[in-house]
Amino acid sequence: MNATGEPKATILVIDDEQIVHESVRRILEEEGYKIDGAMRVDQALDRLAEHSYDIVLTDLMMPDRSGMEAVQAIARDHPLTGVVMFTGFATVDSAVESMKLGALDYLPKPFTPEELTEVTERALEKVRRKRHDKEIEKLYSDAETAIKSSLDLQEVLRLICTSVASLFKVKGASVLIHRKKDQVLEMASQHGLSDEYLQKGVLDSQRSVSEIFLSEHPVLIEEVNFDSSLHYPEKARQEGIASILSIPLKLNKTILGVLRIYSAETRVFDDEEMGLLMKFADQGALALENAMAYENVRRDIDGLKKNIPGPLARKMEGRD
């Protein structure tokens, strides 16, 4: 157990020999894992149907069913659980076969405690990455669907900010729209920022994040560079912002505005995350364009309504 008393991960061991269970348990419990055991494949599959495990360690040769069947069943029915095969009859054939079926690793018996721990940790790392990727994929697709399911400009703006903040688990996000007539960036919507911070005023697009308008690429500004790169560096520090990532919202060749992501601690976005962010920004820009087009027609309607002479307005109301 670690300091919080939570196990590092839960592991199910399948083996028909009691002595193997004992030694695996001794080694891995010491490393902070929670261990469950099953003597037979059927019993193990029943357990898996009831509990969720992070890793399954299975023997190959057992009297009831082969460990190969366990690997196959887990890969099919519990894709977010990792399986490792260990065997006293290690062969190239069974090693390759088990991995083709979905095992993450293959460990010949006997093994040293270090070998077992290392293999377990590596497998756990893979499982975690897979789960994380899956979660992000789901969050992303929900976010994209959400921003496309509305034509209400304020709602689309709000959804862009909230989605991106929850997708990347950051402090906050905002959308700044580029106002062409006076070349300023105006905050159109935000999520997770304080009123105080918001009152800092508009940004001159020629100065602040001007890099974006030159390179059309994302710009990451870290705390050490706030003074040289931000309009209001002190405000950002007071707000507890450690870095700001700005991503251009591009439509064809023009820049509609900027999507900003505020992190409370220094946050590094890897290539994959950056790719996802750019994709989200592109979809966001399309959704914004559509919502703006809709909004414009609505505004035209309101404009016309203002100019309706009294008698006609009464006539139209009567007709409705």
CB of 155 to another protein, least distance (A): 12
DSSP class of 169? T
Stretch that binds another protein, among 71-79, 202-210, 224-232, 300-308 (CB under 8 A): 300-308
Map residues 123-142 to x or -, x wherever contact with another protein holds by CB under 8 A.
--------------------
Question: Which one of residues 34, 148, 179, 250 is an interface residue with another protein (CB under 8 A)?
Answer: 148
Helices and strands in the chain, H and E counts: 12, 11
61 binds another protein (CB under 8 A): no
Which is closer to another protein, CB of 43 or CB of 141?
141
Block residue for tokens 């500004």: 221
Our finding on whether 320 is near another protein (CB under 8 A) is: no
We find the least distance from the C-beta atom of residue 186 to another protein, in angstroms, to be 24
Residue 310 host element (H or E): helix 310-319
Contact between 100 and another protein (CB under 8 A)?
yes
Pairing of strands 10-14, 34-38: parallel
CB of 304 vs another protein, minimal distance in Å: 5
Pick 234 or 272: Cβ nearer another protein: 272
d(CA 263, CA 170): 5
Tell the residue number behind the tokens 């193997």, with chain if given.
20
Please report, in angstroms and rounded to a whole number, the separation of the first and last CA atoms in the chain: 71
Neighbours of 271 (CB within 10 A): 7
* Contact present, 14 and 47 (Cβ < 8 Å): no
- Residues lying near another protein in the complex (CB under 8 A): 90-93, 95-96, 99-100, 105-106, 108, 145, 148-149, 151, 282-283, 286-287, 289-290, 293-294, 297-298, 300-301, 304-305, 307-309, 312, 316
